[in-house]
Structure 1
Amino acid sequence: MVLSLVITTGLISTAPGGADPLWPPEVPTPPAAVADYPFTVNVNVPDGNEGYIFYSQAVFSPQVPGLPQSRHANIIATKSGKVVWSRLAPPGQFMANFRVSELNGKPVLTWFQGVNEDQHGSGVNYIADQNYNVIRTFTPANMKSDMHEFRILPDGRALVTAYVRVRADLTSIGGPVDGEMYDCVANIIDPMTGRTLFQWSALRHISVSDTYVRAGWMAGSKIPDPYHMNSIDLDPQGNLLISMRHTSAVYNVDPRTGNINWQLGGKRSSFTLGPGVEFAFQHDAEPTGPNSIRLFNNNSQAIYNKGYTSWQWIDLDHATRTATLARNLIHPDGLVSFAMGNVQGLPNGYSFGSYGTATHISEFSPTGEMVFDATLTAPSYRAYFQRWPGAVAPAGSR
């Protein structure tokens, strides 16, 4: 369904523009050596898919204490572990969400680039052509872009997350009556013009008390983040599917009204969760059909560990309001990823993705057999296996 959007009442007002090409500045980056990105291949079974692995190495700058440290870069690599192209982030910045997208019928590279602000991103969205030249930079209107979501839709518009500081009553989570917190905003943007077409505020539609994270709890963050929006996608009906890590819930939002159609998981789930469906602190919720979704179930949030991390496929029955677990994949090593991660569906039924802080990139067959697994030296927020017509060369080319 093609979605035609206008700014609707009850949502955040927006203004033309929103592009901010001068921050962070586009500066030359030094050549990157292959040795900077050790890439250990553990399993590599041919799967019939052709392409390269796309990922951003070492999310967050400064990096999260206690995690493996490495240089920040966008990387294109083969499954054999050879880096064929890389681009270093400017000093003090990091990159995320590096992938192949399509814009105006042509393949492009897209990513977030910026700085770490209380465990989310504050920066700019980048688009580069097949020659690796940056052709567009933009941000949502009146905001910096966040690193968690930058997705170009088939019709050319972009879905982008943003975090903004606001004041609210935080007594329900152990904070003050008039305290500062982060609101999360889902944006739809025209990347060709930089115009923000739609913005949706979590605070205006979800109670702060729905969070599982109390004020002052989140490590490395000075300001409460009760929602922590980490993915946005579009379902076949034209509604937004939004994941909120700190409410352990996925929301289906009508972009015409801003209303929440339904919620899966969390404290106010619209569905009864069947055996095995329960998930926690998830990432990357995506529709796989009109009545099904796929998500990366972290099942952990540092001090809260509910079990192994898994890739979940969930079927939804809207008539009976029940959710059924259709498929669940757990890494053979029993990985637990307390942050980041994604799952990508490949054309022939295989599934590919990053385990975030667990520093693995893996692929499974339709029957659940692991056909690829690699270990990185630092976390990658997401990883993709995609075809790319651009020229590739030894690492260090830009």
Structure 2
Amino acid sequence: MGPLTSRRMRRAGRASAVALLLVATACGTAPPPQPRPAPAPAPPAITVTTNDASGAPGYLFVTPGLSAADARLVAQLGGANTAAAPAHAPAATGAPLIADKAGRPVWFHPLPADRTAANLQVQTYRGQPVLTWWEGESQGGHGVGDAYVADASYRIVAHLALPAGLRADVHEFRLTPDGRALLTAYREVPRDLSAVGGPKDGRVWDSVAVVVDVATNTPLLQWSALQHVPISDSYLTPSGPNTFDAFHMNSIAPAPNGDLLISLRHTSTVYDVDGRTGQIRWQLGGRRSSFRQPGVEFAFQHDAEFADADTIRLFDNDANGLRNGQGAPESSVEWIHVDPGSKIASLVRRQPHPGSPVVTAAMGNAQPLPNGDTLIGWGVAGRVSEVTPAGRLVYDATMPSTYRAYLCPWRGAPPGPPTVTIDAAANPPAAHASWNGATDVATWQLLRDDSGTSTVVATVPWNGLDTAIGLDAGHRPTGTYRVRALDAAGRVIADSPATQA
């Protein structure tokens, strides 16, 4: 079963239960009052410090928070340094969250404490926009779980589980135009590590790139880093009894010629892999680069993909002391021109944060936007920025750590109705309107039903997943209430079931 079960959503309460309710209430009717739902976990806060009107439109897709295992690992790596970012309380788990550019939540999918999520974004499947993400358990540096594809009503339309011996990993879930999915997986393998300073009877994490046919959930290709890359290429060394994470695959992207571009963080190398044979055509960076690369330096990178046929864009963390034992002064996005014929790689552009330096030890990504800007997710630094080609900052927001961040258009239409709760004990009392995942709501009306007659008590603009509607401070609300969702043209979209104050 997929993660969006009605049982879990009922537990999640007001903010998330509406995503799987099966019967919508007809507009203009007054159904019997419903029991008041339990409070839902609040989405992590997003603090927006820059939001220029020239920025690209769309919604933010993030998974703020770290599992306890990942938080310990990030602390060991040195965490992040982002001088200008407001402090955020750590979020216990990376739950999927859609928010507008003002930071207001639109859809939130809270998770149990033992689960986490990553790679929430809009992709295309069978010609339609779909919502995709990975969900599972963190193993501290990687994860074991499954990949999910949901339609605009947040119903699961594909659930990808890998064959026996493999579980989909947190790092990559990418759909291709021909209906394939690119997924990372990790598996533990016994290995003699004495040549790299480890035990003879050691263990190593093999990083595996898996290509899957989405419609049939059939694996088409498995590429093992252990079979193609020497362990001695790693910049890490075995540590005690721990399984050695020599490679740490963190991105797979299709190349224009059908190859796969694979990033291994712990070799600080990006590999062009033949999409049919699995052979490495060339590799950029690390101990054995195929290129002469004057001016090109990166380390412990994330999210490598082709920006065009001969330019690679990647997020350069560069925070772990590979260059000088102390780490770089800032992380950045780099565009690197590669010429396999001449074996020369050259730096086209480097984009750090335009304000105060941001150094992030782990995670991070860069997304090209339709207006030519680049959205940058700063990983464990808990920051998302939009930067123009000229390097001007047009959007900046902080939040708890998010593995990646995306800005995408999206129109969500949950199948169930909105909900309303009345907080009569508050001072002043208030109603709370919610419709988890609905993007068309511009205005909420609060109606009081009395002896078959409905009266509009208040009308307020939509203001996030939990929109508060103030009531008369001098009177304790009584009776039956419901909310009505209106779109930007003032048309009625749906009514909530009634609730007793």
Give the corresponding residue for 2:45. 38
Confirm or deny: 8 A CA contact 1:24 1:114 kept in the other structure. no
Matched, 1:245 2:268: no
| 1:44–1:261 Cα change, 3 Å | same
| 1:140–1:304 Cα change, 3 Å | farther
Structural mapping, 1:205-220, within 5 Å:
205-216=228-239
Give the corresponding residue for 1:104. 126
SS at match of 2:364: coil
1:332-389 deviations in whole A, cap 9, x for unaligned? 210000000000001121000210011100110011101100010x210000000112
> Percent same amino acid at aligned positions?
42
Give the corresponding residue for 2:342. 320
Give the corresponding residue for 1:70. 91
| Residue identity opposite 1:237 in structure 2 | N
| 1:280–1:373 Cα change, 3 Å | same
1:68-92 deviations in whole A, cap 9, x for unaligned? 5214311111111111111112331
Q: Distance in 2 between matches of 1:305 and 1:254?
A: 33
Give the corresponding residue for 1:395. 465
Q: Which runs of 5+ in 2 are unaligned?
A: 16-39, 80-88, 414-436, 439-463, 468-501
Structure ranking higher in helix proportion? 2
Give the corresponding residue for 1:189. 212
1:145-180 deviations in whole A, cap 9, x for unaligned? 100000001111100000000012212321122311
Q: Distance in 2 between matches of 1:289 and 1:25?
A: 40
Displacement after TM superposition at 1:26 (Å)? 8.5
Q: Which runs of 5+ in 1 are unaligned?
A: 1-20
Structural mapping, 1:53-202, within 5 Å:
53-65=60-72, 66=75, 69-72=90-93, 73-142=95-164, 143-202=166-225
1:103-149 deviations in whole A, cap 9, x for unaligned? 11111111110111131011111111111112221222221110000
SS at match of 1:176: coil
SS at match of 2:170: coil
Give the corresponding residue for 1:349. 372
TM-score by length of 1: 0.88
Displacement after TM superposition at 1:58 (Å)? 1.0
| 1:61–1:126 Cα change, 3 Å | farther
RMSD across aligned positions (CA):
2.2
Matched, 1:375 2:398: yes
Q: Which moves more between the two structures, 252-261 or 45-54?
A: 45-54
Displacement after TM superposition at 1:211 (Å)? 0.1
Confirm or deny: 8 A CA contact 2:282 2:340 kept in the other structure. no
| Residue identity opposite 1:109 in structure 2 | L
Q: Distance in 2 between matches of 1:271 and 1:371?
A: 35
Match of 1:258 among 275, 278, 292: 278
Confirm or deny: 8 A CA contact 1:36 1:70 kept in the other structure. no
Match of 1:301 among 295, 308, 320: 320
| Residue identity opposite 1:144 in structure 2 | R
SS at match of 2:238: coil
1:212-260 deviations in whole A, cap 9, x for unaligned? 011118xxx9311000000000110110000000000000000211110
SS at match of 1:146: strand
Confirm or deny: 8 A CA contact 2:336 2:346 kept in the other structure. yes
Q: Distance in 2 between matches of 1:301 and 1:223?
A: 20
Q: Distance in 2 between matches of 1:334 and 1:323?
A: 26
Q: Distance in 2 between matches of 1:175 and 1:118?
A: 20
SS at match of 2:198: coil
SS at match of 1:204: helix
SS at match of 1:388: coil
Confirm or deny: 8 A CA contact 2:334 2:350 kept in the other structure. yes
Q: Distance in 2 between matches of 1:387 and 1:24?
A: 22
Matched, 1:47 2:54: yes
Confirm or deny: 8 A CA contact 1:71 1:88 kept in the other structure. no
Confirm or deny: 8 A CA contact 2:70 2:139 kept in the other structure. no
| Residue identity opposite 2:48 in structure 1 | V
| Residue identity opposite 1:281 in structure 2 | F
Give the corresponding residue for 2:459. none
| 1:123–1:34 Cα change, 3 Å | closer
| Residue identity opposite 2:283 in structure 1 | Q
Q: Which has the larger radius of gyration?
A: 2
Q: Distance in 1 between matches of 2:160 and 2:3?
A: 10
